[in-house]
Amino acid sequence: MKAVFIVYNQAYNQELVELLGRHGQRGYTVWQEIGGRGSETGDPHLGSHAWPTQNHALFTVVDNDLVEGLMEELRSTDRDNPKLGLRAWVLPVEEAL
């Protein structure tokens, strides 16, 4: 199993949840209204007067055989929506309850 941690512009929450569903992934956890700034491009998302946009972060654990397809669709979504600010990381899951 692998954990996938995804950070993205809050305006795209429904699209990301639907993306997971297309890959048969039902379970996830979302952190809402979080701030940050990309390491290479993009504006800060800080929820302030100067930088009002915020991010969400989503964490899900998927079967190994689903990771490649999920990550490819995330890459495609990022390419098609550069303002999305989407970033995703895959991490090993050593144990689950």
CATH code of 44's domain: 3.30.70.120
In a domain, 57, yes or no: yes
Task: Give the model confidence (pLDDT) of 31-50 as tens digits.
Answer: 998 877 776 777 777 777 77
Q: Which residues span the domain enclosing 31?
A: 2-92
Residue 2 neighbours by CB under 8 Å, 6+ apart: 61, 62, 63, 64, 67, 90, 91, 92, 93
Give the residue ranges of the chain where pLDDT is below 50: none
Question: How much is the CA Rg of the chain, to the nearest whole Å?
Answer: 14
In a domain, 97, yes or no: no
What SS3 state is found at 8?
Answer: strand
- pTM for this structure? 0.88
How many domains are contained in the chain? 1
Burial label for 53, CB within 10 Å (0-12, 13-18, 19+), is middle
Amino acid (one-letter) located at 80: D
Angstrom distance (rounded) from CA 53 to CA 59: 20
